[in-house]
Amino acid sequence: MNGLDSVKPVAGISRSVTGSRPTDGREIAGDFARHLYRLTGSRLAGYLLVAPTVLFLAIWFLWPVLSMVALSVSSRNVDGAMVDGFTLENYLRLFSTDLYFRILLRTIRIAVMTSLIAAILAYPLAIAIARGGPSLARLVTITILAPLLVNVVVRSYGWQAILNKTGALAWVLKLFGIENPPMLLYTEWAVLIACVHVYLPFMVMPLATAIGRIDRTVEEAARVAGAPRLAVFLRIVFPLSLPGLAVGVSLVFSLSAAAYVTPQILGGNFSPLLGTLIEQQILTLNDWPFGAAISTLLIAMVLAMNLVFLRLANRRFARWTAGAR
């Protein structure tokens, strides 16, 4: 055995001598990529995956919102020209003018009542979807989602035909002996009824998902122990469905507070909401700073209400689950 046989082959050279595949650039790049992935872990991959969405939202959502906030603290002169400077006059005008302040309170009231009524109506429907048989669940789901296939303008005009003095509601009331039914069209009640009808699916589906995740053996154990159905709902189903309720209330409140088409058609100038007021200030009066101030306040109000309710619901859910253990 000579000295050459005792020498160990050098990486890269031995492969060409022994006939193995030589190391090329692609293999080096692959080794470097694997090494980089081991160093950074999956966090960098996650950042790269969400980067397009974050960039899209930053350009098409965050930048317009910031521009609107900056416009809301600006002013204009009597000729309509913008004036440089910082002012809170637009916000003070919104709270100091009685008409605008009443519209703000009406918007909050309708959004809260829509969320409350939708939650009350949604629980039986969600239970039917989550706990009913396949046929019943399919029927209820189709019934709930079918109105979403109709344009919101068409639905609003449909409610207008129902709620006027010669509509279907007046005809039904006359059958029960009410000759002079109350005028519901162009009132807060008309806007409330239409908002509940339009946004009810956004409350039902999160609740149905949350109730479907509840272990049925827990409910059966409570019934075996002698608990009535109402107690089972109040002590088991309702607390465990709070995450779905929080999502549903957030969606319904946000959509109701920002609604424009339904209040414009059914409420008109008698029961306008903030969406109608924004349209009037920007398109009719060309008062962009005041319209931006109303829009900024609407966004802040919706975010604040959602954050407060989500925190309260999550805290109550965590406290109940901790006590159940």
Cα dihedral 139, 143, 144, 148 in deg (nearest 10): 130
What is the distance of C-alpha 66 from the center of its chain? 21
pLDDT in tens, 194-230: 999 999 999 999 999 999 998 888 888 888 888 888 8
Q: What whole-number distance in Å separates Cα of residue 294 and Cα of residue 100?
A: 10
Q: How far is residue 156 CA from its own chain's centroid?
A: 21
CA 300 to chain centre: 14
Q: What is the DSSP letter of 82?
A: E
Q: What is the average pLDDT value for the chain, to the nearest integer?
A: 83
Domains, in order of start, for the chain: 16-61 (no CATH), 95-324 (1.10.3720.10)
What Rg do the C-alpha atoms of the chain give, in angstroms? Answer: 30
The phi-psi region of residue 268 (left if phi > 0; otherwise alpha if psi is between -120 and 50; otherwise beta) is left
- Report the sign of the C-alpha dihedral through residues 311, 148, 278, 59, in that order: positive
The pLDDT score that the predictor gives to residue 39 is 52
pLDDT in tens, 46-56: 777 888 899 99
pLDDT in tens, 101-138: 999 999 999 999 999 999 999 999 999 999 888 899 99
Residue type (1 letter), 225: A
Residue 240 CB neighbours (<10 A): 20
Q: How far apart are CA 272 and CA 263, in angstroms?
A: 6
CA-based nearest residue to 250, from 208, 297, 202 = 202
What is the three-class DSSP state of 178? coil
Q: How many angstroms separate the CA atoms of 142 and 109, rounded?
A: 30
Could you give the percent of the chain with pLDDT greater than 90?
Answer: 39
